[in-house]
Amino acid sequence: MLEGLKKAFQILTEKISTTHLSESELKQVLDDFKLQLITSDVSVKTAEHIAELIRPKLAGLRVPRMGNGDEAIKSIYRGALLDVLIEASPDRLFHDILEKNKVRGEPYVALFVGPNGGGKTTTIAKVAYWLKKHGLSSVLSCSDTFRAAAIEQAKNLAGQVGIRAVSQKYGADPAAVAVDAIMSARAGREAVVLIDTAGRSEAKRNLMDEMNKIKRITNPDSVFLVLDSLTGSVAQEQARRFHDDVGVDCVILTKLDSDSRGGLALTVCHEIQRPIIFLGVGQGLDDLLPFRKEFLIERILA
């Protein structure tokens, strides 16, 4: 996990800790560092930002000949990574759900969006399982009425979690399915409505327009963007387009356990300035971790 990012920082540390660098030499070393980040799925803009954050501190650093200078260098890295990464609080999500349930007597509506093949439906099931473990009931809206077998997959996962799924036939209006789910949750006094949607290609305008229709009609409390960590640079553009066209509140990154590069988390936070709330780290329903900055930083700088 995250070997690419680890290597980038390790190589930089070796160059800085073994030799006193002139200003021009430091510039060259940081240029090489940026290239290493870019090959690890960090966007050019984000790589440049990280380099600019650490440049003045590394320039003024005096690495001791004796002792462990690596810790001083890692402290500089940690500060930059803390600056770039943004985390959302699952505890805050829990509080917001309860507040809407108790104060307004309404279910909390969560809309899940993302590109094809990002693991969105499975991720929704994991979120439902996380909610259930915290004592919150939910209803799954099977609003992917386009992809073959999507409704069956959603119903099967809902059954595994032990929650209700609301669906219509294939070709039905996805927004209408979502409205049915909200009304059903209201009648059944379920805490949360989880709206599954068809995977969208960010390049297809009509599909994004349909997504906006679902959002406009359901007025969700949060929009969650689900991205596959393994798609790297492709996911960078997807994140920008979904945020620009639909609006994103939080990001969930899937398949982090298989991601050998690791740069997408940094890019998403810096490029669209939206927090990561969960990480998918396996296939099981329980393989969903609340995102913490330190979790990622510790693994990058290990």
Residue 222: pLDDT above 90? yes
Distance, CA of 270 to chain centre = 12
- State the residue for tokens 């997959």: 153
Predicted model pTM: 0.91
For position 204, what pLDDT does the model report? Answer: 57
- Residues in contact with 112: Cβ distance below 8 Å, sequence separation at least 6, in sequence order: 120, 123, 124, 194, 195, 196, 197, 223, 224, 226
Give the whole-number percent of the chain exceeding pLDDT 90: 65
Average pLDDT, integer, range 241-261: 88
Q: What is the structure's pLDDT at 140?
A: 97
The backbone region for 291, taken as left when phi is positive above 0, alpha when psi lies in -120 to 50, beta otherwise, is beta
Q: What whole-number distance in Å separates Cα of residue 52 and Cα of residue 57?
A: 9
How confident is the prediction for the chain on average, in pLDDT? 89
* SS3 call for 115: coil
CATH class of 90-291: alpha beta
Write the pLDDT tens digit of every residue in 15-25. 887 667 788 88
Query: Per DSSP, what are the bridge partners of residue 195?
Result: 111, 141
* 270-273 own/partner pairs: CB under 8 Å, 24+ apart: 270/43, 270/45, 270/46, 270/49, 270/84, 271/43, 271/45, 271/46, 271/236, 271/239, 271/240, 272/239, 272/240, 272/243, 272/248, 273/86
pLDDT in tens, 85-99: 999 999 999 999 999
**What does DSSP say about strands 288-290 and 276-280: parallel, antiparallel, or unpaired?**
antiparallel
> pLDDT band at 63, cuts 50/70/90?
low
Using CB atoms within 10 Å of the CB of residue 67, give its burial: 0 to 12 exposed, 13 to 18 middle, 19+ buried.
exposed
**Mean pLDDT, rounded, for 204-220:** 84
177, 182, 187, 188 alpha-carbon torsion, rounded to 10°: 90
| Residue 208 pLDDT > 80 | no
Domain with CATH 1.20.120 in the chain: 3-84
pLDDT at 266 > cutoff 60: yes
Task: Say if strands 164-166 and 222-228 run parallel, antiparallel, or are unpaired.
Answer: unpaired
Domain with CATH 3.40.50.300 in the chain: 90-291
Answer yes or no: are the C-beta atoms of 278 and 90 closer than 8 Å: yes
pLDDT tens string 36-54: 999 998 999 999 999 999 9
In the three-class reduction of DSSP (H, G, I as helix; E, B as strand; rest coil), residue 222 is classed as strand
- Measured over the CA atoms of residue 159, residue 165, residue 168 and residue 170, the dihedral's sign is negative
List the single range of 58-62, 76-80, 89-93 with lowest mean pLDDT. 58-62
Q: Which fold has domain 3-84?
A: Four Helix Bundle (Hemerythrin (Met), subunit A) (1.20.120)
pLDDT(14) > 90: no
The residue with greater pLDDT, 4 or 206, is: 4
- At 89-132, the pLDDT tens digits run 999 999 999 999 998 899 999 999 998 778 899 999 999 999 99
